[in-house]
Amino acid sequence: MANEMTSNSPPTGESSHGRPLSKVVALLVGEPRAPELWTLKKLAAASALHVVRAQDGTSVSAAERLQTLRRKHGVSGLASRLIAKKLVVERQERRQLQRLDQLLDGEHLREWWQSSGITPVHVPHLNHADARSAIESLQPDIMVRVSGGILKRETFSLAQHSTLNIHHGQAPHIRGMWSIPWGIVEGRPEWIGATVHVIDDGIDTGRVLWRGTPQLAPGDTGDELFFRAHLEAVDALVRVILDYPQGTAPTALQTGAQGPSVYRSAPGLRPSLRYLRLGRGRRAPFILERAVKC
């Protein structure tokens, strides 16, 4: 269980590392859960943190999203994804959130959030004019997308330096959503990990500033792999933010000659059921190989 905690008092002029603070605006949707609270707490210890919280992830209606998915995947593909979401994915997401709440000590994090003194600015969605107005008034050095949908250029370009994101997968090898489970389903351990990157007009295509993979251990599931990848990525994100006031914007990693970039969206029924058959990772061949070596 992660028990590292920092002071509840908001920073004033310097971080605990003795460096001048950047003004950071964190963007999120809805009530933050344990992984988002962990990120916010780490950011609050290393920056002058402000939060813009949206009610919805997007202005696109559910009907419009369904139409887009039908055009992209066809009727049968859409039906497969809807069935998988109802029967498998939503249940696994609830299970993962419960597990992460245990691992991250969610109760302690919620207590911190209540006493942090951080008052979010509420907006309809993150690309709304109200969100842009709020961000402009805060004049952030850096923005961090903590949760939410795709940011448009008129939003992510408002930071003085850059807008950053944690992608739970090894970008640009694997982009999109459900990346760690996709790595388990398709037997691609090189997809498993996390990436800190600059947000641009694409999906997980921006400059990669850090990329890491968690140690694989016997009995690992996607939940444990997400947890360890998230801890490493948040620490890396904080290091990146601390470098900016020193005038040393991080250098992008060289990613061009490391194989194709694959995009994956929400899974259909077949990969969802395979994820379950693999014990959500426990019976994945590369995890079993690690168990034999141990």
Determine, yes or no, domain membership for 2.
no
Q: What value does the mean pLDDT take over residues 121-143?
A: 97
Q: Tell me, yes or no, whether 3 lies in a domain.
A: no
Of all residues in the chain, the percent with pLDDT exceeding 70 is 89
Residues 6+ apart with CB under 8 A from 284: 184, 187, 278
Cβ(33)–Cβ(101) below 8 Å: yes
Evaluate the CA torsion angle 274, 276, 277, 279 in order and state its sign. positive
CA angle 90, 96, 100 (to 5 degrees): 145
Q: Which phi and psi angles does 277 have, rounded to 5°?
A: -60, -30
Domain ranges, residue 208 = 23-293
- Between CA 258 and CA 97, with CA 239 as vertex, the angle to 5 degrees is 80
The verdict on residue 87 lying in a domain is yes
**Would residue 59 count as lying in a domain?**
yes
Residue 9 lies in a domain: no
Q: What is the pLDDT of residues 14-49, one digit of tens each?
A: 555 556 789 999 999 999 999 999 999 999 999 999
CATH number of domain containing 258: 3.40.50.12230
| Other Cβ atoms within 10 Å of 139 Cβ, number | 12
Residue 168's closest CA among 149, 184, 192?
192
C-alpha–C-alpha distance, residues 124 and 101, integer Å:
27
Instruction: Tell me: pLDDT of 9 over 60.
Output: no
**Cα dihedral across residues 293, 224, 194, 47: positive or negative:** negative
Considering only CA atoms, which of 131, 143, 122, 133 is closest in space to residue 49?
Answer: 143
Q: Which pLDDT does position 47 carry in this prediction?
A: 95
pLDDT tens per residue, range 239-266: 999 988 776 667 777 655 467 899 999 9
Q: Which residues of 200-219 are buried (b: 16+ CB within 10 A; e: fewer)?
A: beeebbbbbbbbebbebeee
Residue 4 lies in a domain: no
Q: What is the pLDDT of residue 245?
A: 76
Total count of domains within the chain: 1
Condensed to tens digits (0 to 9), the pLDDT of residues 175-226 reads 999 999 999 999 999 999 999 999 999 999 999 999 999 998 889 999 999 9
pLDDT at 290: 72
Question: Does 239 map to a domain?
Answer: yes
What mean pLDDT, rounded, does the chain reach?
A: 89
Q: What is the SS3 string spanning the chain?
A: CCCCCCCCCCCCCECCCCCECCEEEEEEECCCCHHHHHHHHHHHHHCEEEEEEEEECCCCCHHHHHHHHHHHHHHHHHHHHHHHHHHHHHHHHHHHHHHHHHHCCHHHHHHHHHHCCCCCEEEEECCCHHHHHHHHHHCCCEEEECCCCCCCHHHHCCCCCEEEEEECCCCCCEEECCHHHHHHHCCCHHHCCEEEEECCCCCCCCCEEEEECCCCCCCCCHHHHHHHHHHHHHHHHHHHHHHHHHCCCCCCCCCCCCCCCEEECCCCHHHHHHHHHCHHHCCCHHHHHHHHHC
In 10 A of CB 123, how many CB atoms?
22
The whole-model pTM stands at 0.89
Q: How much is the pLDDT for 189?
A: 94
Is 156 contained in some domain? yes
